[in-house]
Structure 1
Amino acid sequence: MTTKYALPWYEDLTDSVRALGEAAYEYQLAVTTARTLQAGVETGRRVLHEGKVAAQPRSDASGWNKVPVTRAPHEHAVFHLGDLYREQLLKLQDLYENASLCFATGCAWAIAHVQRGNNPNGVALDMGEDGRTLTPWTGPALEIKGLERYAHAQQVAAAYKQLAVCLNAAGYAEDLGSRDYLADHEASWMHDALDVAVGIGDAAYDYGLQAERALQFALLEPRRKYLHRQSTEDAAQS
């Protein structure tokens, strides 16, 4: 008779981390799509049809008909879509940034717990105020340590360094933006910092991918011990 076991805790943990990575990837695709759509309606790349229509406004309360106005439907559509894509892109970038930070956070959290000898069967994150999105944590806790024996430790460290640069830029820009007055050079610094901070989503996602691979390294010994224990138990029952 073959004994059936539930999935080991480390399989559930890696599934939990991968789900965070897949979520971030979905938002990354959405951001890329929105950027493509926005670029597609840039007036510098389009030839707008010059045809016009006479649009008759509705009568006002006095019953008088207003004078018809001229409208260019194609031009209106292109400008309207540009506004919509811009608005959606900003929302999607925020969602992508949050999801990518959750991915990076989840990987760092998982590795830290495994290194402490814990056996969590899933990542634990806080729920956002909207009751739908997860809340990542940032700061020194995001840095993964204890990977001296890992062959790709330098790649993990480099990815973290890039993310830290972007996060620090965001904090600097926020600090400058909160001031009542900015000199011209300070306003320039703020805009430069914002340009760097735009990369948080990509940097966090890249760090998450590197950290996810590092998690497999951290799980080598726990996996070996688990399989050895299961093998011993099976031998005792046979």
Structure 2
Amino acid sequence: MPEKPAQQHWTESLFDSVYALYETALEYQTAHRAAQVAVQTVEVERRQLHEGRVALRGLQGRDDATYYRTRRTSPHANAVFDLHGLYSRTERELHRSYEEAALLYASGAAWAVASVQGDETPALVEFNTGQDGNPVHHRLSITGLERYAGSQELASAYGQVCARMNAAEYAEDLAGRDYVTDHEAGEMHHAIGIAMGLADTAFAYGLLAQRAVSFVLLEPRRARESELAAARATAQQSTQPTT
């Protein structure tokens, strides 16, 4: 019979869990980039629309007053406008999915760091779920890494994520008001522009947080290697012939 694969140590399965979140966010990032390009290919300002037209003849009117009507239309222009609407909707949907995946990736890595720092041994990143059954991201901050060489870069990236999240909350607050002044409307659009970069910023922070996961796993992995070495030495001694 084939041997059963060895069960992963928690340090390896935890890192794999974080890496799976990275791959997920990367998939959505790639899809979103493709959707952005697709939208650009059908922007009317960039396209030379063919002037050729076709005639469409069909029944019009009510049952008691039905008649044939012929109308002319531009099939190429119609196709470009239809595709622009389709690609734009897809781009917006993928942007939301990418942003959520990036936040789950970054916060999952932050959760893993905090768990290891608290002497916990989780085999997987865990998330609570909302009423819709979807995972809810954890807090994003990472502390207690004074000895880590990348701590300043990590803190700077976290600050950028917070700035974009704050901008999103501010824009949402203004959008929900019954009345906004012209000045507030300008601030709202400015805040929306800042918030639109949250997905990329969260993904970049996730990459740094993933490195921090590797850092805090150094000691547990070394301890594991010491245990395995001791077990091998004991096994070797037990198989040696006695004199």
**Structure 1 Cα separation of the partners of residues 212 and 41 of structure 2:** 39
- Asked if residue 113 in structure 1 is aligned to residue 111 in structure 2, the reply is no
1:51–1:128 CA distance, 2 compared to 1 (3 A): farther
Determine what percentage of the aligned residue pairs are the same residue: 43
**Structure 2 Cα separation of the partners of residues 53 and 130 of structure 1:** 48
**Secondary structure, aligned partner of 2:66:** coil
Partner AA of 1:81 in structure 2: L
Larger mean CA deviation between 106-115 and 51-60 belongs to: 51-60
- Give the structure 2 partner of residue 205 of structure 1: 203
Is the 1:51–1:72 Cα contact (8 Å) retained in structure 2? yes
- Give the structure 2 partner of residue 10 of structure 1: 11
Where do residues 1-238 of structure 1 align in structure 2 (5 Å cutoff)?
A: 5-60=6-61, 61-62=63-64, 64-131=66-133, 133-137=134-138, 141-238=139-236
Is the 2:59–2:66 Cα contact (8 Å) retained in structure 1? no
**Structure 2 Cα separation of the partners of residues 210 and 228 of structure 1:** 28
**Structure 2 Cα separation of the partners of residues 101 and 197 of structure 1:** 13
Structure 1: tracts of 5 or more residues without a match: none
Is the 1:177–1:190 Cα contact (8 Å) retained in structure 2? yes
1:152 deviates by: 1.3
**Secondary structure, aligned partner of 1:148:** coil
Is the 1:98–1:135 Cα contact (8 Å) retained in structure 2? no
Structure 2: tracts of 5 or more residues without a match: 237-243
After superposition, what is the alpha-carbon deviation per residue over 1:53-96, rounded to whole angstroms, capped at 9, x for unaligned? Answer: 11123344236224211110000000110111111111111000
1:130 deviates by: 4.2
**Secondary structure, aligned partner of 2:213:** helix
Once superposed, what is the RMSD of the aligned Cα atoms? Answer: 1.5
1:164 deviates by: 0.7
**Structure 1 Cα separation of the partners of residues 132 and 29 of structure 2:** 21
**Secondary structure, aligned partner of 1:62:** helix
After superposition, what is the alpha-carbon deviation per residue over 1:150-194, rounded to whole angstroms, capped at 9, x for unaligned? Answer: 111121111111111100100111111121110100011011001
TM-score, length-scaled by structure 1: 0.92
**Structure 1 Cα separation of the partners of residues 152 and 122 of structure 2:** 26
After superposition, what is the alpha-carbon deviation per residue over 1:97-141, rounded to whole angstroms, capped at 9, x for unaligned? Answer: 00000000100000000001111111001235444x43213xxx3
**Structure 2 Cα separation of the partners of residues 37 and 69 of structure 1:** 30
